[in-house]
Structure 1
């Protein structure tokens, strides 16, 4: 606005206007680079993902909603397999299904030849429903229950990762006589990860896995067991790591534990959530891991990697509707979702960017995007430039394909969000939104 409250633009010379136009164009390009590959702005200025206009998707399925570019999932799965098998032929990629545990996503991974990493009975059953071969599942968990292990055994899971001595006790009691369950022992590598404290798993005090001396004892116990068989070892450094050297540093500690058939190197590769992040590529990651493997692992051994976040995060965005614009010391733009569909900000301090669906980029006022829930920490983006936001606008957050659906919840009576696959201009519902009846369905008194 002009100084008199009108909509006149301030006076500026041609050079100033050209510079502003270049900044606006750059911002739009930067924003698009965070949305799923192939996203674009159409001739009406509307953001298009998977060939579908996001305003059309919102009109059909409502908001908030997670929109997944299906081709991005396919391409990423193929990229991972190619990157590792071209460097280490006997390698497998196991999608960490906790990052997006729905059958539609897992069907894509299974169709592309990936194994699945599961944690808990629910993830086992989701994988089986998605058509996964149980023999290609890897079961994790630091607190596995008898029931979960019974589900795993009933379905014939390929590998169980032993996280502690109690896992061995349970398995020896539950595995039927005459059968041997293949196992990996999870080893704490002693690598300090440069990530949020809640995402670091490779340090000596981690709740996951065993320190090397304890791991050796676990291996000896498995070796003496008539019901268990040791396939190898597993390790994991942490999540959202932007340094491949840290990831590769975990290979040598497990190599020192002996010669095995299988070395599961975990996952953890980080992704780009904001303009100022520059994560390694999948090729960078594969090169670092296999270079270290060639240096210290037995030739011909099998390696497994378990990408989750880096497999699915960039494939999706979440679409919200603006419900309130409150201007004051800070301009708060409130949307119809929040920590009910995105806990990453509250749990890990993860930063996101945002764009209005029909006004991507350009000069705008700096606002804070907040959610609808009764927590001051329910904040999606702390500072982002939006062009004249008003009630009713559609707003999209990119890079929400990992852990947002996973941790969606019913706080304040929110209905959990739907998931929509978009491909070649066609949108289809793969996970429905909760109904109001769903919210009450588990109350029995």
Structure 2
């Protein structure tokens, strides 16, 4: 059993996170409950920043907020000195409402609307990551109309296929994201953006995939981008201030996963860029990265309450919990694997095999295909680890399931970051749209 961050087994045999007993958290906040170990988030943020400092390279670490967007998390990473990557007007709005400095926000997205681009200009974001030719036209029109400048990065697909799942591979040539680096699209985007008077091209951006466990693909991507900017200097006299090499650094979901320490990815990319710059007598650009999962994934643990059990002779035993694909769709979406434990029986042998199933009305609502636990009784508290990324962020109200509460724990304290949805929350927008008061439907 692998424990993460501040997790430990306390004297009661209970799982403890951030100095707080899981039993206490479940009693106060109910289940399902997503618990974030904030000390681990801070430690990961500082490790990334330290890698740049130790390698002597200027850089920015931007939290890829799609992993988990909330005002409370934004304030944590803001206070740790990170920048922020947003991909929609909603994420940008949340960031601004959280008090995030706009100049530290990078606006991504493969289909930004005109209103989203206007919003980015009005708020004065640090840069827009340009994804396609349609967007270039809108940026030109809006910058002229508002008479406002904007820094941009050109997102490119370098033709690198990381060893990851097809659904989360984004750097290969066949991708909905970015300009192809090898067929002239990136060069055309560079020429168009160079001709817009209020636009400054900061440099290139790429993101080659997610849940990557080695540095080889990152090194190949960094080398490809450096060769391109070296060619642009030779052809157009342009010297690139920034290279953004994205994120995708892997984490340990199960014992079969063997990721590097987060800072090792950064050091490898920095060294590749330094070597490529030396070969071309090119100034080493400022390097940006965008960790999301690797900042918050292992920091999250979801607590569930066990319910019904069903044995299929000679096949499996289903153990149903009070959540499922409505709070964690990743197993159903692309077969993501997790590990688990009986949170209040941690010191007992975990030798009984279960398929942990959710309560949604889908046969595919299975959180873990083969989980080893003690002999579980209804009411036992089940912990599923590493749910801090793309859990709550992708949660839904399927089957009219209220989304769970989110709590932050640190140094023995706990506080609600997001309250649990109620049944009233589920129908609120319908009542407002119809002009119906709650008392009229009881």
* Same fold (TM > 0.5): yes
Task: Tell whether the 8 Å contact from 1:88 to 1:290 is kept in structure 2 after alignment.
Answer: no
Any conservation in 2 of the 1:244–1:269 contact (CA below 8 Å)?
no
1:384 Cα deviation from its structure 2 partner: 1.4
1:27-55 Cα deviation digits (max 9, x unpaired):
xxx232xxx31211111111100111111
- Answering whether residue 305 of structure 2 is matched by residue 336 of structure 1, we say no
1:113 alignment counterpart? 81
Deviation (angstroms), 1:126: 1.2
Preserved contact between residue 354 and residue 384 of structure 1 (Cα < 8 Å)? yes
The Cα offsets for residues 60-85 of structure 1, whole Å up to 9 and x where unpaired, read as 00000100111111111111100123
1:316 aligned partner: 300
Which consecutive residues of structure 1, in runs of 5 or more, have no partner in the other structure?
1-29
Offset at 1:177? 4.7
Superposition pairs for residues 68-217 of structure 1, below 5 Å? 68-175=36-143, 176-212=145-181, 213-217=184-188
DSSP-derived class of the 2:90 partner? helix
User: Partner residue of 1:289?
Assistant: 269
Matched, 1:277 2:264: no
Counterpart position of 1:46: 14
**Distance in 2 between residues matched to 1:307 and 1:421, nearest whole Å:** 20
Q: 1:402 is matched with which residue?
A: 389
Q: CA deviation at 1:364?
A: 2.3
Distance in 2, Cα, partners of 1:130 & 1:61: 23
* 1:292 positional shift: 0.6
Conservation of the 8 A alpha-carbon contact between 2:274 and 2:284: no
Distance in 1 of aligned mates of 2:334 and 2:283:
39
Q: Match for residue 440 of structure 2?
A: none
* Counterpart for residue 287 of structure 2: 303
The 3-state SS of whatever aligns with 2:60 is strand
Structure-2 change in CA distance of 1:398 and 1:363 (3 Å)? closer
Tell whether the 8 Å contact from 1:138 to 1:161 is kept in structure 2 after alignment.
Answer: yes
* Cα drift, residue 299 of structure 1: 2.9
1:423 corresponding residue in structure 2: 410
User: CA 1:145–1:88 in structure 2 vs 1: closer, same or farther (change >3 Å)?
Assistant: farther
Is 2:202 the partner of 1:241? no
Q: Residues 46 and 357 of structure 1 are in contact (CA less than 8 Å); yes or no, is this contact kept in structure 2?
A: yes
CA distance in 1, matches of 2:24, 2:389: 24
1:178 positional shift: 3.3
- In the alignment, is residue 436 of structure 1 matched against residue 405 of structure 2? no
CA shift for structure 1 position 257: 1.9
TM-score of the superposed pair, with normalisation by structure 2: 0.91
Structure 2 Cα separation of the partners of residues 244 and 130 of structure 1: 34
The answer on whether the counterparts of 1:369 and 1:380 sit within 8 Å (CA) in structure 2 is yes
Aligned residues: 413
Alpha carbons 1:31, 1:355 under 8 Å: kept: no
What's 2:370 paired with?
Answer: 383
Whole-angstrom CA distance in 2 between matches of 1:88 and 1:187: 26
Q: Cα 1:378–1:194, aligned 2, differ >3 Å: closer, same or farther?
A: same
Further displaced range: 236-245 or 174-183: 174-183
2:19 touches 2:410 (CA, 8 Å); kept in 1?
A: yes
Between the aligned partners of 2:350 and 2:86, the Cα distance in structure 1 is 44
Deviation, structure 1 residue 261: 0.5
Deviations 1:9-38 (A, max 9, x none): xxxxxxxxxxxxxxxxxxxxx232xxx312
Structure 2: distance between partners of 1:160 and 1:86: 29
Which residue of 217, 222, 225 maps to 1:254?
225
Q: Structure 1, residues 234-254: CA drift from partner, whole Å, max 9, x if none?
A: 011001111211122111111
Q: 1:363: how far off?
A: 4.1
**1:214-229 equivalences in 2 (<5 Å):** 214-229=185-200
Q: Distance in 2 between matches of 1:221 and 1:328?
A: 62
Note the residue ranges of structure 2 that are not aligned, 5 or more in a row. 230-238, 435-442
Distance in 2 (CA, whole Å) between partners of 1:151 and 1:294 is 36
1:232 — aligned with what? 203
For each residue in 1:307-337, what CA deviation from the matched residue of structure 2 results, as whole angstroms up to 9, or x when unmatched?
0001110111000001111122311000000
Contact 2:273 2:284 in 1 (8 A): no
Aligned counterpart, 1:354: 340
Equivalent-residue separation in structure 2 for 1:389 and 1:304 (angstroms): 47
- Give the TM-score of the pair, scaled to structure 1: 0.91
**Aligned-partner Cα distance in 2 for 1:363–1:434:** 33
Distance 1:300 1:365 in 2: 55
